[in-house]
Amino acid sequence: MKVTVFGIGYVGLVQAAVLASVGHDVVCVDIDQAKVDNLKKGLIPIYEPGLTPLVEETYKSGLLNFTTDAKAGVEHGDVQFIAVGTPPDEDGSADLKYVVTVAETIATHMTNAKIVINKSTVPVGTADKVTAKITSVLATRKVELEFNVVSNPEFLKEGAAVSDCKKPDRIVIGTDSEDVKEAMRELYAPFNRNHERIIFMDVRSAELTKYAANCMLATKISFMNEMSNLAELLGADIEAVRHGIGSDSRIGYQFIYPGCGYGGSCFPKDVQALVQTAHKVNYKPALLEAVESVNFHQKKKLFTHLHNHFSGDLAGKTIAIWGLSFKPQTDDMREAPARELMEALWQAGAIVQAYDPEAMEECQRIYGTRNDLTLAGTKESALKNADALVICTEWSQFKAPDFDTIAQQLNNKVLIDGRNLFEPSSMKKKGFTYYAIGRGESVKKV
């Protein structure tokens, strides 16, 4: 099928490359000229396992193309994906300006029937807004053309985006049109061979499904973080509790890790956006508000440990940070706990020496060059003469480090572990002052 994807980000680029890899003829449109130029040279703007060879291969085959020419993009695809960002605006609602702009672009240039697929995460009712925008532009152009707006939310996980897209758990499609259902079956047939993955529903339910999924996951994280705070106060070990509850098949082990709070481009903004959606229909989403509030406080936890350990005097201290991305296997630092920590440290006059396997360029892009930030070439060099080490992201290479090297390089054997990678008793034996999340004996009461 001829497919156009608007927005070459984490979702758009992965989706486009995966669709091209099974034989669809895909054109990607973005407003970022540099991004398009780089992609044509084989420079992939994001780190995502397996993405670079997939893009190279599909670009070479001619089935994946990149352009800033929106008119050419609209002409190309019978199917037009909208995969642009939906960032939070001032009150936390999803800002739909990029989505609406693409709808306007499609309506301005279309000359035949189109299926417009909303892949961006958008509030319930957005398909109606996109439909209204296209209708009004077509009316201004005085042309009558058939189009359908479909909700097809994306559930990929950054860090596993390519495999998630190739083997989705489910393909949610919100539409009432039988013709559109048939076209969507054809589009996704290569991903639907093993068993039926397509779940058809009405548009509003599809839009809500995406928020419900992310809010459920965020709830699991905040629930565990709340339990970890209680464990600290009650002298219990959250890791024992985690095993104890995960063994119940109704609860399960997945996604119940306590930590330094959720980040990324999705959970924080999607929880906030659904809270705002609820307010708009005069509903108080008490649970979602609590999920957000627990996370807000949890993201301050690592700094609090440091602040308490150094009795509030962080000025001039050097803090080593391992892990900048919001989770492993990505370079995405949007809303990452490491950012909250670094910014609080700078505010307190501390110096940061950071290392991340993939997110250093992104960190440089966000913060530029500053005297109180050193981006170290290796995880070991980040430790040199630092007064403490903080682990923000659970990259594999941080899970079994050489503790002798850590002890030698640091000025003080202080380790703050935002991901509970180590056993408090064994860290104590090694002579470290070790703070983790919700682990009874690691807590320093103040």
Query: How far is it, in rounded angstroms, from Cα 396 to Cα 327?
Result: 11
The active-site residue, picked from 215, 266, 363, 392, is 266
Q: What do you get for the CA distance between the two ends of the chain, in Å? A: 63
- Confirm whether 215 is a catalytic residue: no
Single out the segment in contact with ligand NAD by CB under 6 A; choices: 23-31, 186-194, 283-291, 437-445.
23-31
Closest listed residue to residue 403, CA positions, set 427, 384, 387: 427
Please report which helix (H) or strand (E) contains residue 417, including its range: strand 414-417
Q: Does 118 bind ligand NAD (CB under 6 A)?
A: no
Q: Does 12 bind ligand NAD (CB under 6 A)?
A: yes
Closest listed residue to residue 375, CA positions, set 406, 351, 393: 351
Closest listed residue to residue 80, CA positions, set 57, 104, 45: 104
Q: Does 6 bind ligand NAD (CB under 6 A)?
A: yes
Q: Which is nearer to ligand NAD, 45 or 424 (CB)?
A: 45
Pairing relation of β-strands 351-355 and 25-29? unpaired
Q: Does 268 bind ligand NAD (CB under 6 A)?
A: no
Strands (E), 17-167: 25-29, 64-67, 79-82, 114-118, 147-151
Q: Does 137 bind ligand NAD (CB under 6 A)?
A: no
Single out the segment in contact with ligand NAD by CB under 6 A; choices: 7-15, 298-306, 372-380, 431-439.
7-15
Q: Does 265 bind ligand NAD (CB under 6 A)?
A: yes
Nearest approach, Cβ of 444 to ligand NAD (angstroms)?
36
Amino acid letter, residue 231: A
Query: How far is it, in rounded angstroms, from Cα 148 to Cα 350?
Result: 55
Residue, CB closest to ligand NAD: 9
> Tell me, what DSSP letter sits at residue 394?
-
Single out the segment in contact with ligand NAD by CB under 6 A; choices: 31-39, 237-245, 296-304, 399-407.
31-39
Single out the segment in contact with ligand NAD by CB under 6 A; choices: 28-36, 198-206, 247-255, 379-387.
28-36
Residue 137, phi then psi, degrees to nearest 5: -70, -40
Tell me how many degrees the CA angle 153-154-157 measures, rounded to the nearest 5: 150
Nearest approach, Cβ of 411 to ligand NAD (angstroms)?
38
Q: What part of residues 77-96 is at the interface with ligand NAD (CB under 6 A)?
A: 83-86
Q: Does 266 bind ligand NAD (CB under 6 A)?
A: yes
Please report which helix (H) or strand (E) contains residue 446, including its range: none
Q: Does 17 bind ligand NAD (CB under 6 A)?
A: no
Q: Which of 19, 36, 54, 102 binds ligand NAD (CB under 6 A)?
A: 102
Residues serving a catalytic function are 266
